Structures are given as C-alpha cells and as structure tokens.
Structure 1
C-alpha cells in the first residue's frame, strides 16, 4: 500500500513521453489529415514527413517531432484538453468546428506555429498584430507568420526584470528567462541552482506524505 501511494505521488514528476510525442491528440479525431487541408498540403510538400492519424510528423527524428495537426471538421465545441501536446507544430487546422472562443493561453508555448486556420468567428490568438498576415477565405480565417513580440518597437506590457531576457512563448505571448548565472524569483539569486538540495527536499516531503497516508489507511483498516 505504501509503495502504491508513493507511486501516485510521484506520477506527476515522471516524464510524459507519450504526451511529448502527441499520441493522444493525434488520435483525438478519426482518420488521416483531410485531403486539401493546410496540414495535408504541408505534409505532402515537405520532404521527410509522414502522416500518423491527424498528425504530420518528421520521419526518423527521435523523438518524432509533431509538425502539423489537422483537427478540422471534428465537431469541436472546445479545444481538446491534449492540445498542448502539439506545441511543436508548425501548421494547425481547426476549421469547420463550432468553436466560439479561444481561452486565454490556449497557445502558450506554441513558438513554432507559423500557420493557423480557424473558423471565421474566431480572431487570431494574440490579435492581428501577433501575425505577419491575416486573411479570410469563405468560412475560415488564416493566421500566418507568427511574429516575435520581443522584437517589437513598443514596450512590453510586463517588462522583464533586470538580469532577465524576453523570449517568445506563443502568439502574442512572452516569457522572461533569467540570464546565467541568475535564477529564482525575478532572477535575483546568483549562482548555480541547488538541484541536489531541491530534489532532496522534494523527495523527503513526498516520502513523508506517503508514510502519513499509509499510516492513516492502516489505522482505518484496523478500526472495527
């Protein structure tokens, strides 16, 4: 029982290799990329790629990089919960779905995304200023050429602190990365991050919680 509880506590810390390769999101809608979709055209025109489910992957890469995702005509009322698995995608098609909104941060981490097709009622994430070109065609909107918000002439809404540099984090989104050797809150701490100490404290807390839960369950089991 104790080992089982410890495993449950450690699960969030284990590497999610399946999620990293996008297996779940590739199978979230049946069939291959739809003929004529921007993903199908992209995959057919780019050497060294192959289709897997609704995904276009870089063939031979380890792990295989997900380059395109076609979720068009999938009867989606909301974005699929596994969409973050496609953060490495260059091309993404969400057209012909009854989507009414894109929650803030839906494309957080999508720094490689260069072509996004949406139902016409939806605006491009980050606004038109986050893209080089925004066009409409029938019932779809096409957002092309993601701009680097850190290269704009205007000031950022949340300027990075001293000892940190701005880095793109998706359409219209930025993150502040600490310059070496700074780390911690607002990059105020200098020196190497104490990895061993952090892991030791985290392991001790996890073990203590596991033992506490195990002891609680044993007492409940012994109570008549």
Structure 2
C-alpha cells in the first residue's frame, strides 16, 4: 500500500505542475496589450513600482501594476520612445498612476485621457503639458527632466457654471479637464428635453422602411432605363 501511495504522489506532482503552467500561460495571454508595449519590464525604482509594492493586493506584470482581477492600476511606459500613445492606451483607463516620462511625446494629449477618471498621478516629459491644463490638477510640480500632475480635480465642480448641463441632465467627470452631461432616467435627445425611453424598435422600423422605399425607387429607375435602351 505504501508503494502504491508513493507512486500516486509521483504521478500527481507533474500533473499539478502542468496545471499551474497552464494557468500561468492563460494569465499571460490575458495580459492587456498595453502592458507589453515596451520590451523591458518596469524599473525597480520607478514611481509605479513603488506604488505597486506598497499597496496590498497589487502585482507587477511587464509594464503594468495589476490588481487581483487583472485590472490595470498603474502603467509605466517611461523611456519607450513613444511619439504618441497609440490606440491601445485606453486599456489603461482604470489606472491611478501613469508614468510617461523620457518619451518624445507631442504636446497634444488633451483628448487622449477620455475616461481616465481614476487617474491621480501622471508623470510626463518636462515639455509636455498636463492634460486639461494646470486647473485640472491639484498640484503640478516641475523638475529638470519631468513634471508630475497630481490630484485630478472634478471638473464638474470647478467650472463655476451651474447650468453647464440641462435641467434633466447631470454632469459627470470624463478625465482630466473633461466632463460629459448624462440625461436622467426617462429623458433623452437634444439637451435631454425629450421624455420617455428611446425606442430602438421604432428607429429600426423607420430606417428599414426608408431603405426599402429607396431600393424600390432605384430598382424602378434602373428597369425603365433598361427598357428605354
């Protein structure tokens, strides 16, 4: 019996290792593409690394700091020779801290951070302005080689315009210096003035009727031309 147990254990060891390897491979495949945009891993003394190691439940993978659900909390793309942030950058919209220093970025990041409502620390090259401008952040600190934008402000509370959104809408932040007006439940359309829910069935019904009418008209026109010739 002892020999049988020993054989079973020796069989389970490679099986368990294979399962763990498969799980690791699956997790690697699920890593957001923005995390592997640069070939090298995040530097040990970077701000993203320090934040990730000091915050419980976070882990470093390539250029990203992820929580246990795999959500990006930090992103370090410093020294990646980036001229622009590219189409994969919105994958990091959940990040709290992002480091973009030491990149030849163009100073046109104003609309790049749509949806980055949780961002609190952004490190940029010294010649690139904080998105949204200085008023979109609590503090902007300039150093020799970089600048740090910290504490994203709720732009809905800082515009000073009480009527920035219509009566039936509410203002919600949409990133540094950005906001959007969301219609209240039961309202839609221009300035949220239309009451009731928008009927997709009616919309597609009307669209289908128009398409059918145009198709019949074109078919009739082509048929008359064919007879005339």
TM range (shorter): 0.7 to 0.9
Q: Are 1:126 and 2:132 counterparts?
A: yes
Distance 1:153 1:86, change over 3 A: closer
Of the three residues 31, 35, 40, the one matched with 1:26 is: 35
1:44 is matched with 53
Query: Kindly tell me: are residues 66 and 201 of structure 1, through their superposed partners in 2, closer, same or farther at Cα, counting changes over 3 Å?
Result: farther
Under a length normalisation based on structure 2, what TM-score does the superposition of the two structures give?
A: 0.72
| Cα 1:159–1:76 shift into 2, 3 Å | same
Instruction: State the distance in 2 between where 1:58 and 1:171 align.
Output: 23
- In structure 2, the CA distance between the partners of 1:58 and 1:204, relative to structure 1 (3 Å rule), is farther
What displacement does 1:51 show?
1.3
Indicate whether 1:185 and 2:194 are aligned.
no
The runs of 5 or more residues in structure 1 that have no matched partner are 1-20, 209-224
Match of 1:162 in 2: 167
CA distance in structure 1 between the partners assigned to 2:197 and 2:168 by the alignment? 14
Query: 2: distance between equivalents of 1:124 and 1:35?
Result: 25
Structure number with greater CO (CA < 8 Å, separation at least 6) is: 1
**2:63 aligned residue:** 54
Map of 1:85 onto structure 2: 91
| Number of equivalenced pairs | 181
* Counterparts in 2 of 1:203 and 1:153: CA distance versus 1, 3 Å: closer
5+ residue gaps, structure 2: 1-29, 213-229
In 1, Cα distance between the equivalents of 2:156 and 2:182? 12
Structure 1 residue 104 displacement after superposition: 3.1
CA contact (8 A) 2:83 2:106 kept: yes
CA-to-aligned-CA distance 1:174-198 (integer Å, 9 cap, x gap): 1001111212332122223335556
Aligned alpha-carbon RMSD (Å): 2.5
Higher helix share: 2
